[in-house]
Amino acid sequence: MSSGYEIIEAFEGFYIKKLGRVDFNTLSNDLNRRQLQVDISKMMRDLVNADIGQQILIVAKQQNFSAPVVIAVSPGKMSAVLTLNIKPGEKTIPLDEFFQRLKDQGIVYGVNLERVKTLLKLKRPAFREVIATGEPPQNGNDAKINYYFQEPSLNPLPDKNDFVFRPGGIIPVEEGEVLATRTPATIGVFGCNVLGEIVLPLPGKNLDFNVGSGISVEVNSAVAIHSGALHWDNSIMTVVSLTTLSGDSQSGEVFIPGKAIITGNLSSNTTIIAEGDIEIQGNIEGGTVISETGSVYVRDGIIGNSRSIVKADGNVEASYVYKTIIEAKQNLIVDKYILQSDLTVGQGIYCKAVKQFTFNDKRDHPKPPPAEVGNDIDLLAAAKSSKDLERELKYLIKSIQGLIKKTDATNQVRELLERYVETSNQLNKLKKERQDFINRQKKNSLGLQGLFNKPGIDYRIRYEKVPDERITPPTTVFYDYYRTKLFII
């Protein structure tokens, strides 16, 4: 238990060591418990001006160490010391008389008899030898609260240059379910000083449950009063109403107070409006979903066909999004892809498929390494592959548009969308490689004019090789890519 200070006991007095921000209420109670008379105002000023680690004398004790035999009790009464101001071989006082002095000074606890006998028997000087030690108190432990459920974060967990996709959801609870338990604070263990006086420990601090409506506190447990869903309002845990709609929702408009769970799919011509979070454990297939104060979690994907509208005051999270109007005041978090959709987002868009996302802390992401100059590609083969991929994309779009009109083709649409994304990524990669190659040639002055200077190219006029210096631009030429030969027309 740290209160920003430490009290250190020495024979010349008590010191206080500043460790951080001092809790003066705790310090005042600690000084009273130790029965130390201190000028609180002066000590507070000294502590405010002191540096971390600095020690300040708060109680001094004067002792007369000039007598032949001196028995002194420390300021905190937790130890007693013996000083013998004698010459070597000089007799001290008898053992009985010494014990009487201990009794007269009230030293009755923790006396080390063997040490006393040895010091008196040696007949030599001694300085502040400890002859009695008290038992210090053990301060109590602070209370601890274990919450069984944690408030979910609306920001995804970063993972190097990507993020971890963990779709959120609603946390349902049952009536009487224990949501948190508390280990109460302890008062500590009493101590005893060398005068036989009881020394009180500093008790641990108690903690209150950070819970609100829908939860009752029963001694050291927080229990749900009724069934519902967990909700956090400014970090205060509450239980709100929860409505569960089983199966697929076909048509109609439903307004739900609290939070809502739909166990199936949401089809077109269906509108779900809820005050809190909405969790759809299937797909959204053309329906409208609006969360007024919470987030929308879609376990599968959103296939809108330009008819789906999803709005949330928090996040919108789904496996994929296609032809949908999305409005999220916080984040849009998607695992696979986002296609042909209108997006309005307050903070960041996170999509694993395109690897483009925005973290709220605006961190700088490392730039990709420059392409290697030596990696040439076959431009004609690249052009042919691009055309093949474009034809494949047109076919997939036509197939998807045809299947969306069917009510029982969700799985087929999902598979075609995944093929579409994969094909689109291949096409984009191929185009990028082709453009990078062309850019490298331009950088090396290897445009049409620069081809004359490229090593490994033969120059011919009517199939007759001629020296380079005879070729004077501008000239009409034909470049055979496969034969790496340049022909002057």
Is-contact 324 305, C-beta < 8 A?
no
Give the E-state strand segments of 86-214 in sequence order: 126-133, 144-147, 157-159, 162-164, 172-173, 178-183, 191-192, 198-199
- Which one has a higher pLDDT value, 421 or 69? 69
pLDDT for res 409: 62
Length of the chain: 489
Q: Which backbone phi and psi does 468 adopt, to 5 degrees?
A: -60, -35
Residue with tokens 């850019």: 439
Lowest mean pLDDT among 8-22, 138-152, 460-474: 460-474
Give the number of other Cβ atoms within 10 Å of residue 434's Cβ.
Answer: 17
For residue range 253-302, list pLDDT tens digits in order: 899 999 999 998 888 888 999 999 999 998 888 889 999 999 999 988 89
Pull the structure tokens for residue 41. 């105002």
Rounded distance, CA 322 to CA 305, Å? 7
Which pLDDT score, from 0 to 100, does residue 313 have?
Answer: 94
Dihedral (C-alpha) 51, 53, 56, 62: value to the nearest 10 degrees?
-160
244 has pLDDT over 70? yes
Pairing status of strand 477-480 against strand 485-488:
antiparallel
The beta strands (E) that lie in 292-397 are given as: 296-298, 302-312, 316-328, 331-339, 342-345, 348-351, 356-357
Q: CA nearest 78: which of 169, 208, 194?
A: 194
Q: pLDDT digit string (tens) for 337-389?
A: 888 888 999 988 888 755 433 333 333 433 444 444 445 555 566 666 777 77
CA 347 from chain centre, in angstroms, equals 18
| pTM of the complete model | 0.60
What's 190's DSSP letter? Answer: -
- Looking at residue 214, the DSSP 8-state letter turns out to be T
What pLDDT sits at residue 216?
96
Percent of the chain beyond pLDDT 70?
Answer: 76
Give me the residues paired with residue 13 across strands. Answer: 10, 60
Strand runs labelled E in 242-315? 242-245, 252-256, 259-262, 266-267, 270-274, 278-280, 284-285, 288-291, 296-298, 302-312
CB of 286 within 8 A of CB of 269? yes
Residue 487: pLDDT band (50, 70, 90) is: low
Question: Sorting pLDDT into bands at 50, 70 and 90, what band is 410?
Answer: low
Pick the more confident residue, 421 or 476: 421
- Please answer whether residues 331 and 348 qualify as being in contact, where contact means their C-beta atoms are separated by less than 8 angstroms: yes
Q: Residue 479's pLDDT band (boundaries 50, 70, 90)? A: low
Q: Is the pLDDT of residue 437 over 70?
A: no
pLDDT at 369: 41
* Centroid of chain to Cα 214: 28
- Say whether pLDDT at 464 is over 70: no
| pLDDT value at 175 more than 80 | yes
Decide if pLDDT at 112 tops 90.
Answer: yes
More confident site: 421 or 74: 74
For the segment 166-181, the average pLDDT, to the nearest whole number, is 91
Mean of per-residue pLDDT scores for the chain? 79
Residue 140 has pLDDT above 60, yes or no: yes
CA-wise closest residue to 283 among 411, 154, 422? 411
The amino acid present at 121, given as its one-letter code, is: K
pLDDT of residue 356: 38
Which has more pLDDT, 3 or 150? Answer: 150
Look at residue 92 in the predicted model and tell me its pLDDT.
83
Average pLDDT over residues 401-426: 70
Structure-token pair, residue 324: 């949908």
pLDDT band at 44 (very low <50, low <70, confident <90, very high): confident
256 beta partners: 274
Q: Which two three-digit tokens encode residue 317?
A: 């999270």
- Report percent pLDDT > 90 for the chain: 34
Highest mean pLDDT range out of 263-267, 360-364, 398-402, 440-444? 263-267
pLDDT at 158 over 60: yes
Residue 368 has a pLDDT of 41
Burial class (CB in 10 A: 0-12, 13-18, 19+), 123: middle
pLDDT band of 446, cuts 50, 70, 90 = very low
Nearest to 296 by CA among 316, 272, 322, 267: 316
**How high is the pLDDT of residue 300?**
87
- Residue 53 confidence (pLDDT) above 90: no
Q: Please name the helix (run of DSSP H) or strand (run of DSSP E) that holds residue 17, with its range, or none.
A: strand 13-18
| Angle, helix 379-404 to helix 410-443, in steps of 10 degrees | 160
Which tokens sit at 158? 């970063």
Question: How many CA atoms lie within 13 Å of 255's alpha carbon, on the beta-carbon side?
Answer: 1
In the chain, the amino acid numbered 5 is: Y
Tell me the per-residue pLDDT of 204-236, one tens digit each, with 9 for 90 and over.
Answer: 999 999 999 999 999 999 999 999 999 999 899
Q: Label residue 336 by pLDDT band (50, 70, 90).
A: confident
Select the more confidently predicted residue: 164 or 472: 164
Q: Are 1 and 142 in contact (CB under 8 A)?
A: yes
- Greater model confidence, 167 or 379: 167
